[in-house]
Chain A
Amino acid sequence: MSAQPSRWQRFLASDLWYSFRRSPVALLSSLILLVCVVCAVFAPQIAPHNPLDLATLNLMDATLPPAWMAEGSSKFLLGTDGYGRDILSALFYGARISLFIGLGSVLLSMLLGVSLGLLAGFVGGKVDGFIMRVCDVMLSFPSILVALLINGVGKTLFPDAGETLAFSVLILAIALTGWVQYARTVRGSTLVERNKEYVQAARVVGVGSLRIMRRHVLPNVLGPVLVLATLQVALAIITEATLSFLGVGVPPTSPSLGTLIRIGNEFLYSGQWWITIFPGLMLVLISLSVNLLGDWLRDALNPRLQ
């Protein structure tokens, strides 16, 4: 046995892992999330049909109900949409796009927010004042509105954008609404940390400001950021779904969960509920389990509750 336990061993022995194993809510929601993520990531391998391949579609199969209903077919477990696409496969592919955009925008906004927050807290003065004023203004608008506006402006700038560009604009639009939360959290903790002795000691030894920020302050302010990031993933996925539902999100050639709900919405009046309800259910399952996981993480990392 080595004297220094590996990272993995330290993790297994940590309070966090212990509290995770003891919390049924955390276990259940991460299980649901794991299933969703696996379905999304391996969609091309495990989906029974390829909904993006137009050649395999047969209009004779259009709007079939789920398999357990009278007219359902065992070939399409959750039924088909108006073009004869298999709903289950469309769900897998849709979740893939939703998760990709959700995670992408959260990563981007975390990078932006943490950097600006560190800068504001560590440098202070005019820089701090300016960044915080911008935060105030951003916070006074609802995030969905900001995302919608940025995305709208982006769409106007590049009217015939390709798929990659459309995705980038969307991710950027959602990221630009979320960074404020990180910036404020990190700034607050940085203000506390920067006067502590270890930072002063590092400074006395002659470590540069950038290095102090990155190597010494940053690891100590990451706890709340982690909680925030988890909760923001749910928010970002819902924002993406909302934008796509409004018809201004992902390009129609690569439908996300929101697009699927939008498509299904037109069939609701003729009683074909499954085209809308299943993507909606998947969306709620993902966002609810991410939210519950985030709540658990917040309590688990809060030293006052232990």
Chain B
Amino acid sequence: MLVFILRRLLQAGVVMLSVAFIAFSLFQFVGDPVANMLGQDATPEQRDQLRRDLGLDQSFVVQFGSFLGNAVQGEFGLSLRQGRKVSTLIAEAFPATIELALTAALIAVGVGIPLGVYAALRRGRFFAQLVMALSLVGVSLPTFLIGILLIMVFAVNLQLLPSNGRHEVLSLGFWTTSFHSWASFKYLILPALTLSLFQLTLIMRLVRSEMLEVLRTDYIKFARARGLSERVVHFRHALRNTLVPVITITGLQLGSLIAFAIITETVFQWPGMGLLFIQAVQNADIPVMAAYLCLISLIFVTINLVVDLLYFAVDPRLRVHSTGH
């Protein structure tokens, strides 16, 4: 047990270290910061002085160490483009992305599970087949195209919903939200819907296939033989057993939602971390890129670690296996 957890922690640590190393090496390629800061007519003494002040005369290892120390505290320096602290920029954009991702996850689960159950129970009926066919198209449509289509229909043609930006938000200290008024919430609908569609089809197809699998098992036959009503068999017995893998996948997909938010945020100009990152890539804004790289990796590594540990807690077979060696 302990060995398993330790090994996983070590692995996560190695991944984070390599990501931090990549982020650190980015800084080595932007050219000499000393030359940029002092300009053409600085004396060699001035250069040496600044080099010492910035710690650039130290060895690579020491520099990497101080980068790590700063990164752990969330300190990545100033954005080259906006001239503000990277940590502030990220802190401002973080709530917007999380709000978008969580709303999308809610839509995906809330619509995906019922649709999947329906498609499994009414297999072969016209509507169920229509749902499955539509889901195939949904998988083939790239996210940004879905966003564009939604904008075309709901914002341009019907003029029902706004298509870009985030309306004024309610500030709760370190957090901001759009849930306080309909005027603000309207701005969240189209981006959240766009972001959720891929996950929705994924969850729906997963629920359907798991449900079909479970309905074939002996205990379902036994439950039917006991004379339980179809409703009880389907929802108390079958659905409950399909939910374990569905919850795992949904949890794992939360990270993808945050990553895919890059695309959605660009389409809808939603001021989240993804938009920040894309603008940083376009302008070679290294500090912001490095910070985003480290943060998104941390999110993914954490999610995977938690899921691994949960598996371990849930599935006793893993425990026997690891102590057997």
| Interface of A toward B, CB cutoff 8 Å | 133, 137, 140-142, 144-145, 148-149, 151-153, 155-157, 159, 234, 238, 241-242, 245-248, 261, 265, 268-269, 271, 273, 276-277, 280, 283-284, 287-288, 291
Contacts and interface: CB of A to CB of B under 8 A. Distances in A.
A284 B141 contact: yes
Given A156-B284, A265-B148, 17 more contacts: A141-B300, A145-B262, A153-B26, A155-B281, A155-B284, A156-B289, A159-B284, A234-B140, A241-B142, A242-B143, A261-B145, A268-B156, A277-B152, A280-B148, A283-B142, A287-B142, A288-B137
B304 A242 contact: no
Contacts of B297: 141
5 contacts: A133-B11, A142-B260, A155-B281, A156-B29, A288-B140
A142 B151 contact: no
Which 5 pairs show the lowest CB-CB distances between chains A and B? A152-B281, A145-B259, A288-B140, A142-B256, A238-B142
Interface string B282-305: 101010010001001100110010
B273 to A, nearest CB: 12
A248 B281 contact: yes
Contact of A261 (B139, B148, B155): B148
B15 interface: yes
Contact of A148 (B143, B163, B281): B281
A268 B263 contact: no
The B contact surface, by secondary structure, is helix
Given A152-B289, A159-B284, A269-B156, A144 B145 contact: no
Nearest to A295: B136
B35 interface: no
A280 B282 CA distance: 23
B266 interface: yes
Interface size class of B (residues with CB under 8 A): 35 or more
Contacts of A142: 255-256, 259-260
Contacts of B140: 234, 284, 287-288, 291
B30 interface: yes
A72 to B, nearest CB: 19
Main SS of chain A's interface residues?
Answer: helix
Interface in B238-291: 255-256, 259-260, 262-263, 266-267, 278, 281-282, 284, 286, 289
Interface in B138-160: 139-145, 148-149, 151-152, 155-156
Contacts of B282: 247-248
A257 B88 CA distance: 36
B309 interface: no
Given A156-B29, A248-B281, A284-B145, A268 B259 contact: no
The listed residue with most A CB atoms (<10 A of its CB), out of B140, B155, B263, is B140
A280 B145 contact: yes
A148 B255 CA distance: 15
A157 B29 CA distance: 6
B42 interface: no
Contacts of B256: 142
A248 B139 CA distance: 23
Given A156-B286, A280-B148, A283-B145, A242 B263 contact: yes
A242 B296 contact: no
A268 B284 contact: no
Contacts of A156: 26, 29-30, 281, 284, 286, 289
B22 interface: yes
A144 B284 contact: no
Contact of B144 (A151, A261, A268, A269): A261
Given A145-B259, A268-B152, A242 B144 contact: yes
Interface centre among A246, A247, A277 (most CB of B within 10 A): A246
Contacts of A234: 140
Contacts of B301: 140
Contacts of A261: 144-145, 148
Contacts of B137: 288
Contacts of B263: 144, 242, 245-246
Contacts of A271: 156
A227 B213 CA distance: 25
A246 B262 contact: yes
Contact of A153 (B22, B145, B255): B22
A157 B30 CA distance: 8
B304 A140 contact: yes
Contacts of A152: 281, 289
A273 B152 contact: yes
A269 B297 CA distance: 36
Given A242-B144, A242-B263, A265-B148, A145 B296 contact: yes
B26 A140 contact: no
A140 B300 contact: yes
A137 B208 CA distance: 29
Nearest to B252: A140
